[in-house]
Chains A and B, each alone.
Chain A
């Protein structure tokens, strides 16, 4: 018999599965964060409703079976499901290990936007040449 938190951890993994060297949201250990985020009535209710809809053997299903079952749950409880997805995405994309993983594949700076910021080339006035040559285009009024 799986515990509720086993089911919920599997739910998180199904919503955001593993990717390359980064485990899924549940295996990353994000369940406590998601629980902590459910600090108001709509969020905690949503988590409760979706968790209660998971069958006991959810953990034993294949990834495809889980996904098709979750689609049914999403259809039955669209609002609650949406709230849970938002909470899981929030926990996942605020996790430093995930941000570091994104940085490895892109030019993204995994640190907070400040103080480093980004370098961008200065505005090139040449681009404006065709527009500068066009006639005035605003309506004059008295």
Chain B
């Protein structure tokens, strides 16, 4: 060991959605906190949507799959045994650097699936425990939308008005109205009015590449400036390779810095925010003689119960030009008509139907929302009929915890420092496939009602592994879960997990609003406690 840093109250691993929110809160509560992030800052001028080759960038350097883009600060993921490929980003801001910013909250029933529907497990907390944190987080993430949705509990006025629908979503909304189905403009972490030096959205389209205007909120914009101003220290290019421990207590972390030097960061509390893959990997990498199957893993639940939200997609092709490439691609309207369980459908739990706009020229040709366009003599005719003429609806389902769906350590694959990569084993359960089939049928009706000439579907979008959840779940029973209701490890009281790994079940909604609110609540739990009680001395 060549270098040892000054001890701190809290070291956070990962500066993404949860790590940013947590560090902001803990720094404002006066604790000495260092966050270690393997990636760096993403600067607005490097965002590809400013460049002529922006669509090429999406297929290469800015692909959401780290195995494709292979940036130096990425780690590879063995997904050869998975029905779904993981998508994530490693940087200050984490995966919110690439996200679509759709910002729903889990619903009250999502926290009680065992009680209500006899499947999965109940959470040890409920919607009301998170309600105040949802509101704080919505303000920090500058959410646009509209209060008053009858499919969700009441919430405060949204900081910004809804994003514009565009022609495709408007037609779909009218179709929902004619069918008498629920829809609502999405809550989106997208500015629809200027906010400080961040400009309102100008509907350029590809939010997934980043937003040079700063309209689409990511945590590098929303949380980090204030966290740093409150005294938090953020080290980039710092890949944590191990959480160090003595029996029953963590002592800090070892990380490799940008020069390749191994550094020890002692801390009274270690907080993991590396997402459902990165955190499980780190816990497994941190095995010692006293915890041979991995840190905090006496329950054997670390890495298990991986959940992704299996997703299908249905796309309508319209005769009219909808200019579907205009507007934030993932944010317009959502229908929760079929969200809550109705046993007459033949399956429990439900799905979210999220309207998606269409793609740029290359995206249209390569396919994704639709099959790839044919090559040869029919190519141009098909391109003209589809480009700008489509609108899609994703059918997002709720996968339930299955111990065989899991993150383990790869046998031979390693990152550039020779540290074992994570391996994902994952199968989509039949209930999700049935739900998707039902969802595609019902939303095909919607698209036809909206005037689509042709409706095509994809029964499983295998590249939709955007939500990495469940691999260090919270629970009251220490034999069946990794952390307690406050995100504190059952085995190691000064170790905390605060990212989407802690979800016991996942609802059928994008998770980031909920996981950030959990992180904010965990920060209060950690700061509100006598730190001695959680095992560490305040420095």
Residues in chain A within 8 A of chain B (CB atoms): 14-17, 19, 63-64, 67, 70, 85-86, 88-90, 92-94, 96, 98-99, 102, 105-108, 111-125, 127-128, 130-132, 134-142
**Can you offer 6 A-B residue contacts whose CB atoms are under 8 A?**
A86-B372, A116-B202, A117-B326, A137-B151, A137-B336, A141-B115
Q: Which of B53, B174, B360, B366 contacts A86 (CB 8 A)?
A: B366
Taking CB atoms, residues of chain A closer than 8 Å to B183 are: 131
Decide if A67 touches B340 in the complex (CB within 8 Å).
no
Interface 9-residue window, one of B162-170, B304-312, B446-454: B162-170
Taking CB atoms, residues of chain A closer than 8 Å to B111 are: 141
Decide if A127 touches B375 in the complex (CB within 8 Å).
no
Residues in chain B within 8 A of chain A (CB atoms): 47-56, 59, 107-109, 111-112, 115-116, 126-127, 146, 148, 150-153, 161-166, 170, 173-174, 176-177, 180, 182-185, 201-206, 212-213, 321, 323, 325-327, 336, 339-340, 360-362, 365-366, 372-373, 375-377, 379-380, 384, 387-388
Decide if B150 touches A135 in the complex (CB within 8 Å).
yes
CA distance A117 to B171 in the complex (A): 22
* Chain A residue nearest to B70 in the complex (CB): A40
Decide if A117 touches B375 in the complex (CB within 8 Å).
no
Decide if A114 touches B362 in the complex (CB within 8 Å).
no
Tell me how far the C-beta of B212 lies from the nearest C-beta in chain A, rounded to whole angstroms: 5
Tell me how far the C-beta of A114 lies from the nearest C-beta in chain B, rounded to whole angstroms: 5
Decide if B108 touches A94 in the complex (CB within 8 Å).
no
CA distance A12 to B330 in the complex (A): 33
Decide if B203 touches A132 in the complex (CB within 8 Å).
no
Decide if B372 touches A132 in the complex (CB within 8 Å).
no
Q: Which of A98, A127, A130, A132 contacts B361 (CB 8 A)?
A: A98
Decide if B377 touches A131 in the complex (CB within 8 Å).
no
Task: Please classify the interface of chain B as helix (H, G, I), strand (E, B), loop, or mixed, using the class held by over half of its residues.
Answer: loop
Taking CB atoms, residues of chain A closer than 8 Å to B54 are: 112-113
Tell me how far the C-beta of B316 lies from the nearest C-beta in chain A, rounded to whole angstroms: 18
Taking CB atoms, residues of chain A closer than 8 Å to B108 are: 138-141
CA distance A96 to B56 in the complex (A): 13
Tell me how far the C-beta of A136 lies from the nearest C-beta in chain B, rounded to whole angstroms: 5
Interface centre among A15, A119, A128, A134 (most CB of B within 10 A): A128
Decide if A134 touches B182 in the complex (CB within 8 Å).
yes
Tell me how far the C-beta of B169 lies from the nearest C-beta in chain A, rounded to whole angstroms: 10
Tell me how far the C-beta of A133 lies from the nearest C-beta in chain B, rounded to whole angstroms: 9
Decide if A89 touches B182 in the complex (CB within 8 Å).
no
Taking CB atoms, residues of chain B closer than 8 Å to A19 are: 380
Decide if B152 touches A138 in the complex (CB within 8 Å).
yes
CA distance A96 to B362 in the complex (A): 12
Decide if B146 touches A118 in the complex (CB within 8 Å).
no
Decide if B177 touches A130 in the complex (CB within 8 Å).
yes
Interface centre among A96, A98, A132 (most CB of B within 10 A): A132
CA distance A117 to B182 in the complex (A): 30
